[in-house]
A and B are shown apart, each in its own frame.
Chain A
Amino acid sequence: AQTVTQSQPEMSVQEAETVTLSCTYDTSESDYYLFWYKQPPSRQMILVIRQEAYKQQNATENRFSVNFQKAAKSFSLKISDSQLGDAAMYFCAYRRQTGNQFYFGTGTSLTVIP
């Protein structure tokens, strides 16, 4: 069974600094997708970034980038130049290429300190 582990329940970062959120996953598949979702207090989950496992290049979306280590089954999220609006719960998620189900981690609560 696929599992997603986020070992940091809470993280904090100074405004304008950089923070990295960790995620590991367990799978026997070779083709899959990985995602980071953000859930602010308003509750709506918003996609931050996604990575296709067959791509070696790490995905980047503006201030957000990932460090995808396929052999280590690690998928960390780096947020650069942190802003107050980045404060939220962040969930790492996995989906098999041919699967319907998303597997989510337990989340990391990010606080941004002004």
Chain B
Amino acid sequence: ETGVTQSPTHLIKTRGQQVTLRCSSQSGHNTVSWYQQALGQGPQFIFQYYREEENGRGNFPPRFSGLQFPNYSSELNVNALELDDSALYLCASRIGLAGGNTGELFFGEGSRLTVL
């Protein structure tokens, strides 16, 4: 069974640039969530995708966008990068939607983004 994989592991961008982060969900998982973890903080929910549609969104501006592909892999795109976007971006996958099960999340190792 393949776990959640993310790429790249580290990257450096400058303010105003755009970035795309990628995630392959765990085998058999059709739901992918993205979280932002700033230094010294807990993860903050960005959004979730289920069957290629956004299925929930946290308090993040529209310049944070995403995609989910038919194979359930996902991308997180961030436009017009700001210094405060520097963080660890975590992808997590699970089976199905909320309700009926605990919906345990399986996390990748994250992509560390530094914005200069």
Contact = CB atoms under 8 A, between A and B. Distances in A.
A33 B103 contact: yes
B33 A100 contact: yes
Contacts of B90: 45
A107 B40 CA distance: 8
B98 A97 contact: yes
Interface stretch (B20-28, B41-49, B62-70): B41-49
B70 to A, nearest CB: 21
Given A43-B110, A97-B98, A106 B41 contact: yes
Interface in B34-57: 35, 40-45, 48, 55-56
B55 A100 contact: yes
Interface residues of B, number: 27
A80 B43 CA distance: 26
B88 A43 contact: yes
B108 A50 contact: no
Contacts of B41: 106-107
B2 to A, nearest CB: 14
Given A101-B45, A105-B42, A44 B33 contact: no
B109 A102 contact: no
22 contacts: A4-B42, A42-B109, A44-B110, A45-B43, A45-B90, A45-B105, A45-B107, A50-B104, A91-B42, A91-B43, A93-B42, A95-B103, A97-B98, A99-B56, A99-B98, A100-B55, A100-B97, A101-B45, A102-B45, A104-B43, A106-B40, A106-B42
Interface of B: 33, 35, 40-45, 48, 55-56, 58, 88, 90, 92, 97-99, 102-110
Interface of A: 4, 33, 35, 37, 42-47, 50, 52, 91, 93, 95-107
Given A45-B107, A93-B42, A100-B33, 11 more contacts: A4-B42, A33-B102, A44-B108, A44-B109, A45-B43, A45-B90, A98-B98, A100-B48, A100-B55, A100-B98, A107-B42
